[in-house]
């Protein structure tokens, strides 16, 4: 999609680009904590608490562990945040993304793995036993949940006949949501996103009752602030990706005139669907306790992978019957 350079700059930097992304990331973090608090009969934080926490961490002293590679330790959180923010640019928010191309789904999935790899590197480089164990757990989890997660999110592309996130969302506008065509893939995608974000019951790498905070243990000051912000941004990008692939994203099944009204309606659809996904993820976090890494291994390979392979078979069968493009 061609766009005027000024409008493109506004899209990237302001809306629905980085400024909106950061504001929405803080809001989703507030809402996540508020929902959890209400479910546990607590009051919860005020609206600006996540932003205040971020500013406070930025002002804290940065402490380097003994013998650490300072340059790599500083670079890892920045690279992780940049990857998560870049992934968001390919997700349709008010309509088709101007950066959409055939294969952007694969790129986004790759970019969303970089925060986990950054956590592993931070844990390994810190030379702290708790951080090292947490980092190894993070990368071990990556190999467990990533296969079914990737397969689940690639199934809509197979049925729609496109590897572009925007085109997959547009296909659903003409037909129906993939959450109805592929309910198994939708559920596996939500579980995989919960694991990717290391939220309960998959907060195994940072198990505070076992290994202090895992790869987060030696993070201080701006490094800690940037990594927390990375996970908040990844929550927005992951929720938007699930919404686009399985719930039609912001695209409407009918045309609304004038165009600005269609953009507003599409943006409202994006907000509603990502908030619904957040509610599901928050409910899972509150309802379940942490599982062990061996239990995750059983769940990932015995159940999630098997369920995803079943979904693949169903999609191929539907394709042979002429369902899809």
Q: Assign 15 a pLDDT band (cuts: 50, 70, 90).
A: confident
- Inter-CA distances, 202 with 141, 191, 197, 207, Å: 9, 9, 8, 9
Residue 76: predicted pLDDT: 92
Residue 255: predicted pLDDT: 66
pLDDT at residue 1 above 60? no
Q: Which residue has the higher pLDDT, 83 or 288?
A: 83
CA 45, CA 35: separation in Å to the nearest integer?
A: 10
Contacts of 17 (CB under 8 A, 6+ apart): 10, 11, 88, 89
Q: Assign 67 a pLDDT band (cuts: 50, 70, 90).
A: confident
On the 0-12 / 13-18 / 19+ scale of CB atoms within 10 A, 61 is exposed
Q: Which residue has the higher pLDDT, 254 or 277?
A: 277
* Residues 44/38, Cβ–Cβ less than 8 Å: yes
User: What's the predicted TM-score (pTM) here?
Assistant: 0.92
* Residues 196/145, Cβ–Cβ less than 8 Å: yes
Residue 19: predicted pLDDT: 93
pLDDT single digits (tens) 103-147: 899 999 999 999 999 999 998 888 889 999 999 999 999 989 999
How many Cα neighbours within 13 Å face the side chain of 120? 14
Q: Assign 235 a pLDDT band (cuts: 50, 70, 90).
A: very high
Structure tokens of 254? 């009918």
CA 132, CA 193: separation in Å to the nearest integer?
A: 23
pLDDT single digits (tens) 265-324: 889 999 999 999 999 999 999 998 899 988 999 998 899 999 999 998 888 887 776 665
Residue 322: predicted pLDDT: 64
Question: Taking all residues of the chain, what is their mean pLDDT, rounded to a whole number?
Answer: 89
CA 14, CA 290: separation in Å to the nearest integer?
A: 38
Residue 236: predicted pLDDT: 95
Residue 318: predicted pLDDT: 79
Residue 11: predicted pLDDT: 83
* Residues 223/60, Cβ–Cβ less than 8 Å: no
Residue 106: predicted pLDDT: 93
pLDDT single digits (tens) 145-180: 999 999 999 999 988 889 999 999 988 888 889 998
Residue 253: predicted pLDDT: 66
Residue 9: predicted pLDDT: 85
pLDDT at residue 2 above 60? no
What's the rounded mean pLDDT across residues 251-269? 78
């Amino acid at each position: 999609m061609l766009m005027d350079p000024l409008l493109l700059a506004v899209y990237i930097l302001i809306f629905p680009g980085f400024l909106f992304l950061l504001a929405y990331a803080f809001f989703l973090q507030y809402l996540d904590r508020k929902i959890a608090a209400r479910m546990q009969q607590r009051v919860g934080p005020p609206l600006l608490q996540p932003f205040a926490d971020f500013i406070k961490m930025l002002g804290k002293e940065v402490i380097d562990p003994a013998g650490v590679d300072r340059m790599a330790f500083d670079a890892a959180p920045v690279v992780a945040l940049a990857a998560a923010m870049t992934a968001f640019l390919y997700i349709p928010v008010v309509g088709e993304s101007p950066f959409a191309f055939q294969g952007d789904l694969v790129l986004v999935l790759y970019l969303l793995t970089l925060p986990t790899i950054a956590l592993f590197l931070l844990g390994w480089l810190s030379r702290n036993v708790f951080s090292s164990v947490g980092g190894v757990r993070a990368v071990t989890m990556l190999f467990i949940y990533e296969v079914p997660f990737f397969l689940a999110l690639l199934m809509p592309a197979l049925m729609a006949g496109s590897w572009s996130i925007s085109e997959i969302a547009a296909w659903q506008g003409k037909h129906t949501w993939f959450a109805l065509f592929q309910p198994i893939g939708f559920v596996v995608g939500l579980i995989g996103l919960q694991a990717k974000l290391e939220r309960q019951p998959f907060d195994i790498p940072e198990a505070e009752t076992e290994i202090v905070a895992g790869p987060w243990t030696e993070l201080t000051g701006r490094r800690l602030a940037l990594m927390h912000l990375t996970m908040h941004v990844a929550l927005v990008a992951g929720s938007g990706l699930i919404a686009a692939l399985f719930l039609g994203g912001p695209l409407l099944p009918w045309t609304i005139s004038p165009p600005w009204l269609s953009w507003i309606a599409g943006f409202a659809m994006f907000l509603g669907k990502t908030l619904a996904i957040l509610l599901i993820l928050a409910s899972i976090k509150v309802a379940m306790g942490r599982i062990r890494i061996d239990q995750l291994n059983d769940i990932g390979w015995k159940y999630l992978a098997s369920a995803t392979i079943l979904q693949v078979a169903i999609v191929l069968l539907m394709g042979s019957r002429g369902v899809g493009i």
